[in-house]
Amino acid sequence: MMKRWHAVKRLLPLFAGLVLLLSACGRADLSALNPQGPVAEKQFGLMQLSIIIMTLVVIVVFAICFYVVVRYRRKPGQNDIPKQVEGSHKLEIIWTVIPIILLIILAVPTLKYVFAFAEDYSKDKEAVKVNVTSHQYWWEFEYPELGVRTAQDLVIPVGKKIAINLKTQDVLHSFWVPALAGKMDTNPEGNKNKMFFETAKENVYRGKCAELCGPSHAFMDFKVKAVSEATFTAWVSEMKAEPKPFVGDAAVGEKFKTSCLSCHAVENAGSLGPNLKGIGARESVGGILLNRDNADEAIDQGKLEKNLHDWIADPDKLKPGNKMHKIPLTDTELDQIVDYLANYKLDSLKTVNKQ
């Protein structure tokens, strides 16, 4: 009795660890096990189907195994070799046919959905088209039919199919929003992958790069911001409007133009670095420095300013190997640039950001 208790006590940290580990599963904004849209739901259905079938197989096999071990164990005084069953047609047919039937049960819905998920909505008038371009280590989102470009936060309307066209600017990456759809590789131009998803729930979903792509791969996070259709329309017109002029000293504005806008854009143009239009309304800086901890809170202006400050002061420290280098700035220049960016808000996202 004492001994058994000791064993349990020794295993306690392991159990506690497992509980802690598993309790992190199932976040509605990050988990494939907590699907938030029809594509993810069907994919979750496939997972459940295979887990149920596999569990039944394990239970039956183990039950038979235990039964045989106990029922046919060697009895005291038993020295003869039991009846051998090798070459039994009956048994061989049973253990060939049952797995085939199970595989067919798995294969039919899997194949059906593989084709359904490959459906191309890029010509569908109702769908919102987005060209996703992955970069080491950030995400660019272009809405070709709307004439809008943004980065890091993919803003989508609820209830509409989002037709995604994937490509990479450099190495292979993989686009993954676990709560909305399975992952898909981003390939170089000429070999585009397509996918789609939708959600009915307004929320901020977390996305990840799911293909090891360099030293800062683990920091290549992004968000999908699902908003109402009205908010989305307002967001699009705001994104198409003229960029907000620099506030602060003219000389700092000039410095911002020459030192920062050589790589960044505040217009709807392609650029070497992420588009900075409306950066004060984003969920994060650099994809990883969160401006609020969850979507029911307001964007924390203090956090946002600190994040911008930390990022601009030393980007390589936060994301080793990224393509933005440390730029020599005076404190005044840094403060004014942070102030401009942190207050570059978007009215359309005000309620979404709970301001």
Binding site for ligand HEC (CB under 6 A): 137-138, 151-152, 259-260, 262-264, 272-274, 279, 285-287, 308, 311-312, 319, 322-324, 327, 329, 337, 341
CB 249 → ligand HEC: shortest distance, Å?
15
121 interface partner picked from Cu ion, ligand HEC, none, CB below 5 to 8 A per type: none
324 interface partner picked from ligand HEC, Cu ion, none, CB below 5 to 8 A per type: ligand HEC
**Helix or strand (DSSP H, E) at 83:** none
Q: Which is nearer to Cu ion, 37 or 214 (CB)?
A: 214
209 interface partner picked from Cu ion, ligand HEC, none, CB below 5 to 8 A per type: Cu ion
By rule CB under 5 A, what count of residues binds Cu ion? Answer: 5
Q: Does residue 329 bind Cu ion (CB under 5 A)?
A: no
Q: Does residue 32 bind Cu ion (CB under 5 A)?
A: no
342 interface partner picked from Cu ion, ligand HEC, none, CB below 5 to 8 A per type: none
Q: How far is CA 33 from CA 40, 116, 210, 262, in A?
A: 9, 20, 17, 42
Q: Which is nearer to ligand HEC, 17 or 321 (CB)?
A: 321
Q: Does residue 213 bind Cu ion (CB under 5 A)?
A: yes
Q: Does residue 127 bind Cu ion (CB under 5 A)?
A: no
What is the Cα–Cα distance from 11 to 15, expressed in whole angstroms?
A: 6
Q: Where do the H-state alpha helices sit in 177-319?
A: 229-240, 250-259, 301-313, 315-318
Q: Which is nearer to ligand HEC, 178 or 273 (CB)?
A: 273
173 interface partner picked from ligand HEC, Cu ion, none, CB below 5 to 8 A per type: Cu ion
What is the Cα–Cα distance from 200 to 222, expressed in whole angstroms?
A: 20
Q: Does residue 128 bind Cu ion (CB under 5 A)?
A: no
Q: Does residue 40 bind Cu ion (CB under 5 A)?
A: no
Q: Does residue 225 bind Cu ion (CB under 5 A)?
A: no
Q: Name which of 347, 346, 324, 327 is nearest 337 in CA terms.
A: 327
207 interface partner picked from Cu ion, ligand HEC, none, CB below 5 to 8 A per type: none
Sequence length of the chain is: 355
Residue 208: how many CB atoms within 10 A of its CB? Answer: 19
> Residue 166, Cα to own-chain centre: how many angstroms?
14
Amino acid type, 152: Q
Residue written as token pair 């709307």: 146
How does DSSP classify residue 141?
Answer: E
Q: Which is nearer to ligand HEC, 40 or 324 (CB)?
A: 324
What is the Cα–Cα distance from 238 to 146, expressed in whole angstroms?
A: 12
CB 342 → Cu ion: shortest distance, Å?
27
How does DSSP classify residue 116?
Answer: H
Pick out residues in 151-210 that bind Cu ion (CB under 5 A): 173, 209
Q: Which is nearer to ligand HEC, 40 or 148 (CB)?
A: 148
Strand 153-157 relative to strand 222-227, pairing: parallel
What is the Cα–Cα distance from 268 to 237, expressed in whole angstroms?
A: 12
Contact 186, 157 (CB under 8 A): no
Q: Which is nearer to Cu ion, 157 or 315 (CB)?
A: 315
Q: Which is nearer to ligand HEC, 78 or 258 (CB)?
A: 258
What are 290's two structure tokens? 């969160």
Q: Which is nearer to ligand HEC, 35 or 287 (CB)?
A: 287
Q: Name which of 206, 220, 288 is nearest 32 in CA terms.
A: 206
Q: Does residue 220 bind Cu ion (CB under 5 A)?
A: yes
Degrees (nearest 5) of the Cα angle 280, 348, 234? 135
CB 332 → ligand HEC: shortest distance, Å?
13
Q: Which is nearer to ligand HEC, 127 or 266 (CB)?
A: 266
Contact 311, 329 (CB under 8 A): no
Q: How many CA atoms lie within 13 A of 314 on its CB side?
A: 3
Q: Which residues bind Cu ion (CB under 5 A)?
A: 173, 209, 213, 217, 220
